[in-house]
Amino acid sequence: MKIVVTTSELRQALKTLQKAIPNKPSLPILQSIRFKVTKTKVTLAATDLYFGVIAPLSAEVIVEGEAAIPGKLFNTVIQSLPDESLTLEVDKEQLVVSSRATKSTIQCMAVDDFPEFPEASGEVRPLKTETLMKINDLVLPSISKDVTRPVLTSVLLEFSKTGYRAVGTDGFRLSLLEENITGEVESTLLFPAKALSEVSRLAVLLQEDEVFLSIAQKDKQVCVQIGATWIFSRLIEGEFPPYSQIVPSSSLTNLTCDGTQLFDQLQRASVFARESSNIVQFSCLISQVLITTPTTSSGHFEGVLDDIQIKGEEITVNFNAQYLLDIFKQFIDSSVKFSFTEPLKPVLCTATNLPNFKYVVMPFRVAT
Amino acid sequence: MYNYATAAPVAFQNWNTCMVTQQPTSDEVRATWHECCAKLRGQLSSAVYNTWIVANPLTNLEHSSDTALLATIMSPTAFHSTNVKKNFDETLRQTLSEITRKQVEIMYVIGTQSIQNGEIPKYNGIIHDIIPKNSISKSPRVEDLFSPKNLESAAFDRSQLHAKKVGLRTDYTFETFAVSTSNEMAHAAAVAVSNQPGSSYNPLFLYGGVGVGKTHLMHAIGNNIIEQNPQIEMIYSTGEEFTNQIVQAIQTKKVSHFKDKYRSTQVLFIDDIQFIAGKTAVQEEFFHTFNALTKNLKQVVLTSDRPPHEIRLLEDRLRSRFEAGLMIDIQEPSFELRTAILLLKSKAQGIPISIDLAKTIAESVDSARKIEGIITSIRSEVELKKRSLTPELIAEIISHTTQQEKRILNASPTDIIKLVANHFQLTQAVLKGKSRVKQLVTARHIAMFLLKNELSLPLTEIGRWFSGRDHTSVLHATRKVEALLLSDEQLQRDVLSIRRTLQRQGKN
């Protein structure tokens, strides 16, 4: 094969592939990028067998062909080159990258060993990039990183005729985003959070307004088409926890406060909370809310929220500051509402600027 | 060529001898796969072997014919499956054929083995193994959002909220309903209906006098259904509310909205259905609602103070439909049941009274509702005046309530006659008149009986109220009613109900 391409085009394509190239795969061929050059188009592909990407590359085709090129090395070489036109040529299992002043020769891998991608099949669902960004900001922070519980590392996506629902939880907090979900749920899938985050990143990077999901339940696979780029991911199997049951339906104390002020105070408190398991305490009194941290050897913090509304009984609740900060940065410039029932029961947080979003947090149990 | 007979593990030796009809067991499948792996390990590099063979195990073998086997290879992802099929199909088929000495065809599926076996891993909360169960950890921690405790309390809150929305009293449950011979039938039917709404007894028609527990049972059915299915659509209304809603719907031109609401519900409760009798438009609407619901096997539960055939001015088509369901009469509570109710209710109010005291109270009051009143007075005495629960206190409260009763009963004869006439839906003139139609006579007799017993009027004077009848006629009437009261339940109910209304009026 032989192509002529600009460094910047190549860098852009490598950016889309980067998450699909595993660091130390058990199967060596998986660390390679597969170039496929036909008369009309050039594509690059990489996969770790659980997640895969096929990206287009605009280049001038001189000779058709295929090659598997070690990804990390190739990437480093390309990043080091200045922005100019490059020639890539494969000859006798060696790739020669020549620029005006350089000539790098890279040993290729056996292209026949490169795994074949499965076919994209199943029902197709469009998803707006705007929605993906919302899921990325509001749902993905709640997802667990504990790989021993695969279901909690995934986002539950549900589609009805008119809308969608996205739910994520790590067992301590829960994000629930839904829009226009009326009528029957027609399609349910557990999308691995890492893959979904990558889909969202690429949709923004490639400036596409909408992506298309091909969901093949039988093959436990989802393919996402973002323009001319394809992302392949497996689906997670298992039963998602009964999320709808734990969203509090009633409350005894309601607190409404300013999102910006809340976030600022929480950030200040979290500086001190680091020393004490990230605990911040909300004391809702009749007319004000105190945000405090436990006293440690380094000191402690005390902040007040004014401009608030409290309805109901006085209550004191301990939170993990990180759980709140993760999500509350989306609540800046909005009014935030907390619904408390008991100090150790789930708390519901909503914001006026995000009417379709619910965040449920489990408070800390602090021994007294 | 591989010599199967000498090298095969024991599991396989049975293979050859086993009957064709018998499918390989999971142990045999595992042994076959073990064998297959052992053979391929030598032929492939370890990376290739681990990725393409070990990760894609054989999960099932079955005889597709006498000489052929169908093998299932399960891969974790579509990537694995596609490539195993492409690169190793031939190798696997050959190896498996050699081991089993049968023609092997391979089916490729995607999944994980535990799920394939039909056990979808249930979500069970995060297990805190480190912390022993009964000691509370000193260090702060966040508990699992999906802990059974949380799920349970959330479900409880949800059903309570739903019950409240529907208008059910959450304290009226089967647990707080005392059962005795007079109501065990009704209780059993209610439990059956609440466990299988729509399919056991439809409609369920409960009738009985005031304070026998019709409404309690109805609420208990509702609460039990909600507990089992918090999402269920349910409507509870009284006959009067139903009437008012129709009137309002007609006024605001939203009749279709009303129809949709009532006809889409899964369970319908109408308390005091007798109230709709005589109201043509309301009966018409109720008839269609009733038909729509029962046709779709939606549960309907109704209560009334008398059986359908005694509800006057009820359309025949409705009456026959009510009678097609299960009709159950709830009788006045017996002494034992009253005692049981007392014990239950006092416990629920947080002032458990002893069985002896309960008996004392049960002797002097006759209805469940009055029991509730007495318990409330006891509680207020105990809680507000800080008095202790003694027989003297009980006696005082009882005498107080019965005194009240006596004072109430100085109604005028006109009041009683009017009330009796209303109760039987007659005019006063007819009641006082000469006609001797049977129904009229019963009503007249009851009126005479009440005038004699409640107001202690002389017989001659009573006779004068009723077109100057002779005092012997009055005597006959009162004796007849007295005698019938011992056996005729409907008469008991009628008299009781009139007497109660009388008392209520006296209070106002």
Would you say residue A368 lies in a domain?
Answer: no
B128: in domain: no
- Mark whether B251 and B287 lie in a shared domain: yes
Q: What pLDDT band is residue B506 in, cutting at 50, 70 and 90? A: low
Contact B187, B214 (CB under 8 A): no
- Same domain, yes or no, for A230 and A267? no
Residue at A225 is within a domain: yes
| Domain's final residue, options B301, B330, B359 | B330
**pLDDT tens-digit series, residues A36-82:** 999 999 999 999 999 999 999 999 999 999 999 999 999 999 999 99
AA identity, residue B397: I
- Counted domains in chain B: 4
Task: Provide, as residue numbers in chain A, all residues whose Cβ is less than 8 Å from the Cβ of B110.
Answer: 218-221
Last residue of a domain, one of A113, A138, A171: A113
Distance from CA of A243 to the nearest CA of B (A): 8
Q: Mean per-residue pLDDT for B53-76?
A: 89
- Do A355 and A259 belong together in one domain? yes
Question: What tokens does B229 get?
Answer: 């299915």
Q: Note whether B164 and B231 are same-domain residues.
A: yes
Q: Is the pLDDT of residue B9 over 50?
A: no
Inter-chain residue contact A237 with B138, CB threshold 8 Å: no
Task: Please check whether residue B140 lies inside any domain of the structure.
Answer: no
B220 in the same domain as B103: no
Beta bridge partners of A283: A290, A316
For residue B349, being part of any structural domain is answered with yes
A213 and A128 in a common domain: yes
Please answer yes or no on whether B146 and A171 come within 8 Å at the CB atom: yes
CB-CB under 8 Å, B140 with A239: no
- B125 close contact with A: CB closer than 8 A: yes
In a domain, A366, yes or no: no
B444 occurs within a structural domain: yes
Same domain, B194 and B323: yes
Note down the domain range covering B95. Answer: 4-116
Could you tell me the CATH number of the domain that includes residue A170? 3.10.150.10
ipTM: 0.88
Q: CATH number, domain at B454?
A: 1.10.1750.10
Does one domain contain both A287 and A343?
yes
Nearest to A250 among B110, B126, B161 (CB): B161
pLDDT digits (tens, 9 = 90+) for B159-192: 777 888 888 888 888 888 888 888 888 999 999 9
Angle, vertex CA B484, rays to CA B478 and CA B488, nearest 5: 140
Q: Do A308 and A341 fall within a single domain? A: yes
Same domain membership, residue A251 and residue A241: no
- Say yes or no: B124 contacts chain A, CB-CB below 8 A: no
Predicted pLDDT of residue B490: 82
DSSP A363: P
Residues B169 and B265 in one domain: yes
Cβ-defined contact of A118 to B151 (cutoff 8 Å): no
A residues 53-112 near B, CB within 8 Å? none
Would you call B133 exposed, middle or buried from its count of C-beta atoms within 10 A (0-12, 13-18, 19+)? Answer: exposed
- Is B125 within 8 Å of A364 when comparing Cβ atoms? no
Cβ-Cβ contacts under 8 Å, A367 against chain B: 136-140
What Rg do the C-alpha atoms of chain B give, in angstroms? 37
The pLDDT value recorded for residue B131 is 41
Select the residue of A47, A247, A365 nearest B140 (Cβ to Cβ). A365
Amino acid at A34: R
- Among the partner-chain residues B142, B144, B157, the one whose CB lies closest to the CB of A364 is B142
Total structural domains within chain A:
3
Q: Taking residues B72-77, what's their average pLDDT?
A: 92
Amino acid residing at B161: L
Report yes or no on A367 lying in a domain. no
Report pLDDT for B123: 55
**Can you give the C-alpha Rg of chain A in angstroms?**
25
- Say yes or no: B298 and B381 in one domain: no
What are the structure tokens assigned to B69, written together?
A: 């086997």
Q: Establish if B151 belongs to a structural domain.
A: no
Domain that holds residue A328: 247-361
A241 with A127, same domain?
Answer: yes
Nearest CB to B140; choose among A118, A237, A364? A364
Nearest in space to B15 (alpha carbons), one of B2, B3, B28, B34:
B28
DSSP β-ladder status, A94-98 and B68-75: unpaired
Strand-pair partners of A95: A90, A106
Residues A262, A312 within the same domain? yes
Q: Are residues A103 and A33 in the same domain?
A: yes
Output the pLDDT for position A347. 93
Please report the pLDDT score of residue B124 as a whole number: 53
- pLDDT tens for each residue of chain A, 368 residues long: 999 999 999 999 999 999 999 988 989 999 999 999 999 999 999 999 999 999 999 999 999 999 999 999 999 999 999 999 999 999 889 999 999 999 999 999 999 999 999 998 889 999 999 999 999 999 999 999 888 888 999 999 999 988 999 999 998 999 999 999 887 888 999 999 999 999 999 999 999 999 999 999 989 999 999 999 999 999 998 889 988 888 888 888 999 999 999 999 999 999 998 888 889 999 998 888 999 998 888 889 999 998 899 998 889 999 999 999 999 999 998 999 999 988 888 999 999 999 999 999 999 888 76
Task: Looking at the complex, report in whole angstroms how far the Cα of residue A279 sits from the nearest Cα belonging to chain B.
Answer: 8
Picking from B311, B330, B349, the residue at the C-terminal end of a domain is B330
* A258 and A351 co-located in one domain: yes
Q: Establish if A368 touches chain B: CB-CB under 8 angstroms.
A: no
Q: Residues B70, B181: one domain?
A: no
Averaged pLDDT score across all residues of chain B? 81
Contact B51 A344 (CB under 8 A): no
pLDDT of B11 above 70: no
Give the domain-ending residue among A199, A217, A245: A245
pLDDT band at B114, cuts 50/70/90?
low
Shared-domain flag, residues A35 and A87: yes
Whether B145 sits inside 8 A of A362 (CB atoms) is yes
> Tens digit of pLDDT for each residue in B326-381?
898 888 888 888 888 888 888 877 788 888 888 888 877 777 778 888 888 888 88
Q: Please identify, among B408, B439, B470, the residue that sits at the C-terminal boundary of a domain.
A: B408
User: In this structure, are residues B235 and B267 in contact, taking their beta carbons and an 8 Å threshold?
Assistant: yes
Q: Are B102 and B44 members of one domain?
A: yes
At residue B406, does pLDDT exceed 70?
Answer: no
Mean pLDDT of B3-13: 45
Position A316, amino acid: T
Q: Do residue B176 and residue B297 come from a single domain?
A: yes
Q: Determine the residue of chain A that is closest to B127 in CA distance.
A: A171
For chains A and B, CB pairs below 8 A equal: 133
Establish if A155 belongs to a structural domain.
yes
Kindly state the tokens that stand for A133. Answer: 């960004």
Torsion angles phi and psi, residue B46, rounded to 5: -65, -35
DSSP code per residue over B161-215: HHHHHHT--TT-SGGG----TTTHHHHHHHHHHHHSTTTSSSSEEEEESTTSSHH
- Same-domain pairing of A225 and A253: no
CB within 8 Å: B154 and A367: no
Q: Read off the DSSP letter of residue B50.
A: I
Average pLDDT over residues B80-86: 92
Mean pLDDT on B67-76: 90
Q: Which residues of A touch B48 (CB under 8 A)?
A: 27
Say yes or no for a CB contact (<8 Å) between A318 and B140.
yes
Is residue B129 over pLDDT 60? no
User: Is residue B463 a part of any domain in this protein?
Assistant: yes
Whether B143 and A365 lie within 8 Å, measured CB to CB = yes
B contacts of A247 (beta carbons < 8 Å):
154
Average pLDDT over residues B429-458: 85
Q: Could you say which of B120, B143, B154 has the minimum Cβ distance to residue A239?
A: B120
**Does residue B443 share a domain with residue B355?**
no
Interface of A with B in 133-162 (CB under 8 A): 149, 151
CATH for B24: 3.30.300.180
- How many whole angstroms separate alpha carbon A86 and alpha carbon A62? 13
Q: How far is B39 from chain A (nearest CA, A)?
A: 20
Q: Residues near B237 by Cβ (< 8 Å), separated by ≥ 6? A: B167, B245, B269, B270, B271
How far apart (Å, rounded) are the C-alpha atoms in residues A150 and A159?
21
